[in-house]
Amino acid sequence: MVFQALGHNEAALMFVLDFSDGSLGHQALFSADGQKGESIRELYYSTLYQHVANYVGMAKVLVDAARRVFRQYEGTPFMREYEDRVLVLRATQENVFIQQFRNYVVHGGIPPFQMTLNYDRNVGTKMFAQLDAKRMLESGEFTGSAKEYLLSVGEVNLAQCVSVHAGLIREFYAWVFEQFGSLHSADIHAVNQLIAESRKLTGADGVR
């Protein structure tokens, strides 16, 4: 359920990060100066903040929930491989950044959002929302791999960062769910047998 909630939050955030014609992001980027333009940009940034907070917050909830659920498998071959894979996941810069970004948001830091428009003769005009890495580093909230990530990218392309992080999480849990099928195959078989027997007794299978 938590994994699915993170997926919903990812989809909602990526929708806000869309700058196609007619989107709120597109309107905010191209709104003229003046009260109306400022109101649209304010609405965009507040909406973006809400969905960023939802995503990074749920990412932390998933970590905490997984820690509780998988405690029951301690000492098993599955858990040993699980822990090895967790170490690999934790070492990725995007994952470390998202975790520390969550702390930054929770502690009251207002993300330094920017809207950027770049033109490339090969791909045309690209529009995206980003974070000012320099200002985030000045907060002192980012250390280790997250700090290295901010130093390496200069500016954080939010859509790109979230896409990479979400992809890592999906890949990790695809392996976890695959293992569950093997770990609980006997239980699943027993439940299916009970369902089949119940259907026979009630005539729900069409046989009387």
Does residue 34 surpass a pLDDT of 70? yes
Does residue 123 surpass a pLDDT of 70? no
How large is the average pLDDT for residues 27-31?
82
Q: Cβ–Cβ contacts within 10 Å for residue 166, how many?
A: 21
Residue 114 is given by DSSP the state: E
How large is the average pLDDT for residues 130-141?
92
Which residues pair with residue 157 across a beta bridge?
130
- Residue 188's pLDDT band, with cuts at 50, 70 and 90, is very low
Between residues 201 and 125, the one the model is more confident about:
125
Question: What pLDDT score does 200 carry?
Answer: 60
Indicate the range of 12-16, 28-32, 122-126, 186-190 predicted with least confidence.
186-190
End-to-end alpha carbon distance in the chain: 38
How large is the average pLDDT for residues 155-184?
88
How large is the average pLDDT for residues 181-198?
52
Looking at the chain, list the stretches that DSSP marks H as alpha helix, in order from N- to C-terminal side.
Answer: 2-16, 24-30, 35-69, 77-91, 93-106, 133-138, 144-153, 158-183, 185-202
Residue 118 is given by DSSP the state: E
Question: What pLDDT score does 122 carry?
Answer: 66
Alpha-carbon distance 157 to 159, whole Å?
A: 6
Does residue 49 surpass a pLDDT of 80? yes
Quick: pLDDT tens for 94-110: 999 999 999 999 887 78
Distances in Å between the alpha carbon of 99 and those of 90, 108, 145, 162, 174?
9, 15, 11, 12, 21
